[in-house]
Amino acid sequence: MEELETKRIIGLMSGTSCDSIDAGLCEVYPDLSCKLIRGINYKYPPHIRAKIFQIFRGEASIKDICQMNFAIGKCFADACKILIEEFGKPDLISSHGQTIFHAPQNEKLDGISLKSTLQIGESSVISKETGCPVVSNFRESDIAAGGEGAPLVCFADEKWFKPLKKNVLVQNIGGISNVTVISGEHTTFGFDTGPGNMIIDYCTQKFFSKPYDEDGKLAREGIVSDSWLDILMQDEYYLKNPPKTTGREYFSPRYIENALKLAPENPKDIIATVTALTAKTIVKAYESFIFPEIDIDEVIIGGGGAYNPELMKFIRYYLPKHIELKTHEDYGISNNFKEVMAFALLGYCTYYSIPNNLPECTGANYRTVLGKLTY
């Protein structure tokens, strides 16, 4: 096996909210630790972003998807060029891509599994535009190995938080929420707990024409509707046993609009209630699938949700009082760029042919090397 060396890697991530391309120049070390040198949020051009949402809504043609694969690749490359201009070329670029559809359910056609996922943002475009090798297509590799293609960040969580020698839950709150369970006496496992910021963002846009509830101000001015919250909590996804993963395909605009038919009249009460929903579904997942087996010391929050004080307040309220609530920043890891760092690490492992999935998290049949390398 080739001797491991420190590599400078640009990690690229665009999540379900599609608010920006997160790009971060990282140093990844042979012990698989990772340091963020600089992170940026690169905004999609407005018409490109609108087209992505058109694809999400199922209103796009095959031609649109084909063209957007290359256009998004160019956007990812442009984000990289900002960092390259300041720091020079990295050894590698590691791109998650833009998920446009995720179908982990094991449906069959003519006896052939239709379990699948699709991330676009053509790696050949990124490579040719930047002159750098690019690792991409991580989720596809996991599904090909029998998994659900998510959550993948668990691999990085284990490397970075296992040395704490505590029982911790590493909770990412992006568009979707996912948890990694790290414990001395139990194999690392993880799953998607349900919606993160997705429903909050949708309702904030619908009722207030704002992309998200900045600092939780709208939620703070509303009152939680306990009766509506109880109805929302009955969804079958929350009862399903892990490993499990979900996304925009399930918690879709149609899903949210159906839920809103029973919502309170005051829009601020709606924002307060769906913020409480994210917090309560996270803690309910702990109560159902984690607490019966493991005594947890800490919950460590990352992702955009870590910046919403009202969401954090609700999580603290629902959590047992003896469990500490922290954020990634408490451990020197950026809340905003944690996933970028994780994909830099995943790309490093792909480059060196180090298996970088955790079957206990994704449901894959075996450990394997995720990702494709494009020159």
Backbone angles phi, psi at 251, to 5 degrees: -85, 65
Instruction: Judge whether 153 and 339 are in contact, CB under 8 Å.
Output: yes
pTM over 0.75? The answer is yes
Measured in residues, the chain has a length of 375
Q: Which domains, and CATH codes, for the chain?
A: 7-152+337-374 (3.30.420.40), 154-322 (3.30.420.40)
Which CA distances in Å does 80 have to 121, 205, 214, 296?
Answer: 13, 29, 27, 39
Report the C-alpha gap between 180 and 173 in whole angstroms: 12
What are the average pLDDT values for consecutive 10-residue runs of the chain, which has 375 residues? 92 86 98 97 95 94 98 98 98 97 93 96 98 97 95 95 95 95 93 96 97 96 98 97 92 96 98 98 98 97 95 98 96 92 98 96 96 97
Instruction: Judge whether 82 and 129 are in contact, CB under 8 Å.
Output: no
Tokens read off for 269: 């009460």
pLDDT tens digit string along 180-204?
Answer: 999 988 999 999 999 999 999 999 9
Report the C-alpha gap between 197 and 177 in whole angstroms: 8
How confident is the model at residue 16, as a pLDDT? 73
How confident is the model at residue 1, as a pLDDT? 61
Report the C-alpha gap between 112 and 108 in whole angstroms: 5
How confident is the model at residue 259, as a pLDDT? 98
How confident is the model at residue 54, as a pLDDT? 95
Instruction: Judge whether 271 and 298 are in contact, CB under 8 Å.
Output: no
pLDDT tens digit string along 117-129?
Answer: 999 999 999 999 9
